Structure 1
Amino acid sequence: MTRNCLRRAELAAFLRSRRERLRPAEVGLPDGVRRRTPGLRRQEVAQLAGMSVDYYIRLEQGRGPHPSRQVLSSLARALLLTRDEREYLFRVAGESPPPAAGPSREVPAGLRHLMDAMTETPAYLVDASYQILAWNRLATYFVGDLAAVPAADRNMVRWMFRMSDDAHWADPEVVHFARTTIADLRAAYGRYPRDRGLAELVTELLGTSPRFARLWAEHDVAERRLIVKRVPHPDLGLLEFECRVLHVPETDQRLIVYVPEPGSPTAATFRRLAERVAS
């Protein structure tokens, strides 16, 4: 889009609707006792966004000048816009949306409830950099008790390339799993060029893991797809299941679910684990 595509009436209506839905307490302001209309006052939005009241009023009236990208970013922060709302704000103002600052690490309540309801299926949630954000009780048999692990050290990719056992890496399935993970990580690296944590993770692994460096140098870019895993678990024996990676579009997160074939020995093992956890 170019600056000629500014849609003043739509921009004005969108700003009014987002302002009116906010409660003062949500942005750290007192509720007051003389509010005649719902939401924030125009002068409060202007103050939060760091602009003059007159300028903001003209934007809401559809007669203001073309807002700069800096003004749009300030309005997005002041109005607590979601990622989709921020993108819409930029586009209706005739600008290309800026790239997201980094992977979302906010866990939607619905996903927490979903994982807890999956009593016979190990499941955990990761962000686009493969940082584990949440997990259910069965997942602890595979990823450990993460409550006792510092949040900064809950990264799947880091764990994967810390393993130096040559026999482990001789397994073609392990190499395939690592390759697809790195391809997905590179895709995230391109989507979030300004994310410091993601850049530091890649830099760290390039310096500490020759295996990672070799795979990264192949420049494969792809999102994760279905893979069948065969895991010799030290306590549970050989397990076989589909490793389903379900993309969550609104947060760019992945729900990783271990799905055994119905009636299989692995399904029976997961059921026994669920009974043990519940007792």
Structure 2
Amino acid sequence: MSDNELGTFLRGRREAVTPAEAGLPTGPRRRTPGLRRAELATLAGISVEYLTRLEQGRDRNPSAQVLGALADALHLSLADRLLLRRLTREADCGEDPLVCAAAPPLSSAARPTVRAVLDRLDPTPAVALNWIGDVLARNRAYERLVGPVGMLDAERPNLLRYLFTDARSRTAFPDWGQVADDLVAQLRHDVPLRDPYVAELADELTVTAGAEFADRFADLSLTPRRVGNRRIEHPEAGALRLLHETLALPEDGQRIVVHLPADDATAAALDRLAGRRPGGLRAVPAAG
């Protein structure tokens, strides 16, 4: 096995991408297969010297931003982005190990009383999340709402991972950009940036999702919306319009998000998904 796996990976992917695939003119006959180092460096916004150090193994710890830019420039698949990140990932906590030691534990489960509240809210979709968007508990109505679009397929479902790395999210959310803004703003503003769990997820998504995530995470003007409306294209129920309300559980580092039908058609569709006669749920008028 090579002791410079990162450099070998980057060089191999660079040589496999044609200028046309990268949006560059083909020009006269080229002596180098794929992209030249200078071309990839320009596309990724880094220096040729730095790219050379990475490929030669003289720098093995590039930032997540650099990895994300290289992944975008090379048009890497999600699987290759995950591999790229794995080749550079380190086990320590960075320059300040006290950050990890001082951080509160990340919630991995909801209390029984929180689960009971979610069950009582059925047939209104409701979910309990921790501060990085992991799904900790949900009621059956929420499973019926988002299960068919793949949001719960992962062993540990996470809203941000689904939104930025699962192509099905683009179909499920017609207003994908607004949903992305809201979820990143919550991640960006609800907890300190030095929180290691937020930093870990942000680094991961900077690599796996590239600029679409990184640019939003760097945008300080984005502010989280606690309430609002959301459209979902459901494969069984069709177009749904939902209002969402967020209830904070600060002692647990969690929040409950409740989705309410914004119109009569959505209320009837949610009833049908639950096997109920329309009329059990009532539309909630949006604030004027």
TM range (shorter): 0.5 to 0.7
Alignment of 1:110 onto 2:113:
yes
Closer, same or farther in 2 for the Cα pair 1:205/1:271, shift >3 Å?
same
Q: Report deviation, 1:231.
A: 1.4
Between the aligned partners of 2:207 and 2:112, the Cα distance in structure 1 is: 37
Amino acid at match of 1:187: H
Q: State the Cα deviation string for residues 132-154 of structure 1 (Å, max 9, x = none).
A: 000111111233289x85543x1
Partner of 1:260: 261
Q: Report deviation, 1:188.
A: 4.1
SS at the partner of 1:124? strand
CA RMSD of aligned residues (A): 3.3
Uncovered stretches (5+) of structure 2, i.e. residues with no partner = 1-100, 278-288
Q: Report deviation, 1:184.
A: 0.8
Task: Please point out which of 180, 183, 186 is paired with 1:181.
Answer: 183
Partner of 1:5: none
Closer, same or farther in 2 for the Cα pair 1:192/1:273, shift >3 Å?
farther
Q: State the Cα deviation string for residues 13-66 of structure 1 (Å, max 9, x = none).
A: xxxxxxxxxxxxxxxxxxxxxxxxxxxxxxxxxxxxxxxxxxxxxxxxxxxxxx
Closer, same or farther in 2 for the Cα pair 1:255/1:155, shift >3 Å?
same
Partner of 1:88: none
Describe how 1:37-48 pairs up with structure 2 within 5 A. none
Describe how 1:1-279 pairs up with structure 2 within 5 A. 100-144=103-147, 149=153, 151-152=155-156, 154-164=157-167, 171=174, 173-190=175-192, 193-195=195-197, 198-210=198-210, 211-220=212-221, 222-261=223-262, 264-275=264-275
User: Which structure carries more helix by proportion?
Assistant: 1
Q: Report deviation, 1:102.
A: 3.8
Amino acid at match of 2:187: L
Between the aligned partners of 1:217 and 1:104, the Cα distance in structure 2 is: 25
Closer, same or farther in 2 for the Cα pair 1:161/1:150, shift >3 Å?
closer
Between the aligned partners of 1:169 and 1:212, the Cα distance in structure 2 is: 18
Q: Report deviation, 1:204.
A: 1.1
TM-score, normalized by length of structure 2? 0.53
Amino acid at match of 2:107: S
Closer, same or farther in 2 for the Cα pair 1:102/1:222, shift >3 Å?
farther
Amino acid at match of 1:271: D
Partner of 2:41: none
Q: State the Cα deviation string for residues 184-219 of structure 1 (Å, max 9, x = none).
A: 101245166243xx3322111101212111211213
Closer, same or farther in 2 for the Cα pair 1:185/1:220, shift >3 Å?
farther
Matched residues, number = 175
Partner of 1:28: none
Amino acid at match of 1:217: A
Q: Report deviation, 1:220.
A: 4.2
Closer, same or farther in 2 for the Cα pair 1:104/1:221, shift >3 Å?
farther
Between the aligned partners of 1:164 and 1:275, the Cα distance in structure 2 is: 29
SS at the partner of 1:159? helix
What fraction of aligned residue pairs are identical, expressed as a percent? 29
Uncovered stretches (5+) of structure 1, i.e. residues with no partner = 1-97
8 Å CA contact retained: 1:101, 1:192: no
Amino acid at match of 1:232: E
Partner of 1:93: none
Closer, same or farther in 2 for the Cα pair 1:213/1:241, shift >3 Å?
same
Between the aligned partners of 1:188 and 1:238, the Cα distance in structure 2 is: 30
Which portions of structure 1, spanning 4 or more consecutive aligned residues, are displaced by more than 4 angstroms?
A: 164-171
